[in-house]
Amino acid sequence: MYNSENNQIYEKVTSLAAKAEAEISSVFARIDEISYKNTQKVLRSFAEHRVSESMFAASSGYGYDDRGRDTLDEIWADVMDAESAIVRHSIVNGTQAIAIGLYGLLRPGDTMLAITGKPYDTLEQVIGIAGEAGNGSLSDFGVDYMQVDMIDGQRIDYDSVGKILRDQEKNGKKIKVAFIQRSKGYLNRRTLSVEEIGEAVRFVKSISPETYVFVDNCYGEFTETREPTAVGADIIVGSLIKNPGGGMAETGGYIAGTRRAVELASYRLTSVGVGGEVGATLGQNKSMFKGLFYAPHTVAQAIKTAIFAAYMFEELGYKVEPKWNEVRSDIIQTVITESADGLCAFCRGIQAGSPVDAYVTPEPWDMPGYLDKVIMAAGTFVQGASIELSADGPLKPPYTAFFQGGLTYESGKIGIMSAASEILKSSLSHK
Ligand X SMILES: *Cc1c(COP(=O)(O)O)cnc(C)c1O
Taking the complex as a whole, the smallest distance from the CB of residue 102 to ligand X amounts, in Å, to 12
Return all residues near 250 (Cβ < 8 A) that are at least 6 apart: 89, 284, 287, 382
Taking the complex as a whole, the smallest distance from the CB of residue 221 to ligand X amounts, in Å, to 11
Size of site (CB under 6 A) for ligand X: 12
Spatial distance between the Cα atoms of 286 and 65, rounded to a whole number of angstroms: 16
Q: Which residues of 231-249 are buried (b: 16+ CB within 10 A; e: fewer)?
A: bbbbbbbbbbbbbbbbbbb
Spatial distance between the Cα atoms of 232 and 209, rounded to a whole number of angstroms: 11
When asked if residue 403 is in the footprint of ligand X (CB under 6 A), the reply is no
Residue from 35, 45, 95, 337 touching ligand X (CB under 6 A): that is 95
For Cα atoms 333, 123, 174, give the angle at the middle one, nearest 5 degrees.
115
Residue from 183, 266, 285, 426 touching ligand X (CB under 6 A): that is 183
When asked if residue 59 is in the footprint of ligand X (CB under 6 A), the reply is no
Taking the complex as a whole, the smallest distance from the CB of residue 237 to ligand X amounts, in Å, to 9
For Cα atoms 354, 38, 85, give the angle at the middle one, nearest 5 degrees.
95
Number of Cβ within a 10 Å radius of residue 44: 13
Q: Which residue lies nearer to ligand X by CB, 185 or 322?
A: 185
Identify each DSSP E strand in 182-222 by its residue range: 212-216
Spatial distance between the Cα atoms of 270 and 86, rounded to a whole number of angstroms: 11
Taking the complex as a whole, the smallest distance from the CB of residue 312 to ligand X amounts, in Å, to 24
Q: Among candidates 249, 226, 316, 334, which has minimal Cα distance to 15?
A: 316
Taking the complex as a whole, the smallest distance from the CB of residue 18 to ligand X amounts, in Å, to 33
Number of Cβ within a 10 Å radius of residue 40: 12
Q: Which of residues 100-139 bind ligand X (CB under 6 A)?
A: 120, 122
When asked if residue 158 is in the footprint of ligand X (CB under 6 A), the reply is no
Q: Taking contact as CB under 6 A, which single stretch among the options 53-61, 92-100, 147-155, 316-324 is the one that binds ligand X?
A: 92-100
Taking the complex as a whole, the smallest distance from the CB of residue 112 to ligand X amounts, in Å, to 15
Q: Which x/- pattern, by CB under 6 A, does the window 188-227 give for ligand X?
A: ----------------------------x-xx--------
Q: Give the distance from CA 134 to its chain's centroid.
A: 29
When asked if residue 285 is in the footprint of ligand X (CB under 6 A), the reply is no
When asked if residue 339 is in the footprint of ligand X (CB under 6 A), the reply is no
Q: Which residue lies nearer to ligand X by CB, 216 or 388?
A: 216
Taking the complex as a whole, the smallest distance from the CB of residue 165 to ligand X amounts, in Å, to 23
Taking the CA atoms of 202, 207, 209 and 211 in sequence, report the sign of the dihedral they define.
negative
Taking the complex as a whole, the smallest distance from the CB of residue 236 to ligand X amounts, in Å, to 12
When asked if residue 181 is in the footprint of ligand X (CB under 6 A), the reply is yes
Residue numbers at the binding site for ligand X (CB under 6 A): 93-95, 120, 122, 181, 183, 185, 216, 218-219, 239
